[in-house]
Structure 1
């Protein structure tokens, strides 16, 4: 399911690249947002994840994020507008479907009929805090991270360098967020356990050590910097590298 999603977005981005000022408009609803927040809570996401999907994320826009799924479907039916329902959305093998068809209905029936609205209010509040923390993370990135475009160099390895002295001075919350952003930009899955390992290495690690975070991503410890890199030919978990901050 995740692989199919990545292929869809890759194709959409390729089309958007060919069109001037194009955006990718997707149909995520308020129900999708509530489900996503629960999924991220189950997976142990921090404040950033629990703030939910953003209305605008790069060139991806979500204009229906505040509208319920049934209201959207009713609008389409009333106006005779054709739509399709993905049959895989009922496959219980996928966590999202179990949250949608089992967990959320159980929470509504046994605990709070307004659980979806409560989740959305929590996400909106966290999103406001997230905006401030995101700007602080960007400032730390600009001071402490040096991005490398090794793919453009013969035999070069794509990655970045993180200055350890300045990193140690950051509050723990910003340390975790900065590492999470680095891993995300490098195409890694950025699990919490990986973030904690990298933070600990940056603060207390001995030069000469090397961390391996999966799919070939390596973090080499030097006296002054951490070096993040993928070996040439290895594909990041999310398939492609971003272009820095």
Structure 2
């Protein structure tokens, strides 16, 4: 745990970790401002997802300075998953800490004990059944998106670090999930901004120490029954010991290289999709395309068609099954996918809703 907060009115000196944190957020903001037609409007609202941990508190501390200087507003959203007896106290403590920074914060409680996610007693929606980690993540993103829509926020900032990115890439490698998984998290993905992907967890903790902020350590992050804690506390130390330091950096660098290649292939797939015109809109993919396009492009075309026509996100298993309708055609029947099915009809693959 960090040292006690400094006396009111005292400003901590601008240490290298704090400067790095501010620069990471400034770079992200400037890049997005330049990328958007007309830029980001002055006075835009940005939300910061805060758990009370070091990563999110450091993010809030640095962001409150950067966005105020740029003429924007920040608010925080604290998600209480209600998974531990003291979760309400943790949320209130985080809210008080944010208040010392001059950041208003609202607490949103989500219920993931059952089969649904209830956000602030509003309408509930189905959440995928799965382990507690994935269900908590889904509930968190759903709640943050709901608040962002209600508050008309420009973006939601998340405190993922370089260490989180390395864990994501390693997990993708072990699961054989394909390049999309190995590419890791993007710094900016629609509503979600992750400006700290280039900073280590040690840096965010040092920011909190330098700012005099105490943070909460989630006990779930130390429990071996969860996958990520096992990677963090068991796998990564062994890799660092056996292979030498810099494993996390190497994994993050790999993700960046894979992402660059993936962006080119995605653009090629989008070009093919656009060339299909009304056929793609009707969920029809000509089998003849496989004679002119490489498999890496066609697998992406199938995912684009599934998303556009059915709102489906295909897994690697689903994509492989669809590819076999062309590459290993033996007259097999339809392939069921989320939200519909795909059948080969002569020289066409046809997507239809169930």
What TM bracket, shorter-length normalisation? 0.7 to 0.9
Mean CA deviation greater in 102-111 or 90-99: 90-99
Q: CA deviation at 1:183?
A: 5.1
SS in 2 for 1:24: strand
* CA shift for structure 1 position 180: 3.9
Alpha-carbon distance, 1:222 to partner? 2.0
Q: Which has the larger radius of gyration?
A: 2
**Structure 2 CA distance for partners of 1:161 and 1:76, relative to 1, 3 Å:** farther
Q: Distance in 1 between matches of 2:135 and 2:306?
A: 19
Alignment TM-score, normalising by the size of structure 2: 0.56
Structure 1: which 5+ residue stretches go unaligned?
149-159, 232-245
Of 258, 263, 285, which aligns to 1:162?
285
Structure 2 unmatched ranges of 5 or more:
1-132
Measure how far apart 1:105 and its partner are.
Answer: 0.7
Does 175-184 or 9-18 show the bigger shift?
175-184
Cα drift, residue 171 of structure 1: 0.7
- 1:192 counterpart = 2:316: yes
From 295, 300, 310, give the equivalent of 1:177. Answer: 300
State how far apart, in whole Å, the 2-side matches of 1:83 and 1:163 are.
Answer: 56
- State the number of aligned residues: 219
Please list the CA deviations of residues 175-203 of structure 1 after superposition, one character each: whole Å capped at 9, or x if unmatched: 22223445566565633332221112144
Q: Is the 8 A contact 2:303 2:313 kept in 1?
A: no
In the alignment, which residue of structure 1 is the partner of 2:341?
Answer: 218
Q: Secondary structure at the match of 2:280?
A: strand
Please say if residues 266 and 297 of structure 2, whose CA atoms lie closer than 8 Å, have aligned partners that are also in contact. Answer: no
Once residues 180 and 43 of structure 1 are traced to their aligned partners in structure 2, the CA distance between those partners, rounded to angstroms, is: 20
Report the TM-score when normalising by structure 1.
0.78
Separation of aligned partners in 2, 1:166 and 1:177: 13
Change (3 A) 1:14 1:230: farther
| Correspondence 1:6-25 to 2 at 5 A | 6-20=138-152, 22-25=154-157
Q: CA RMSD in A?
A: 2.6
Corresponding position: 1:146 with 2:280:
yes
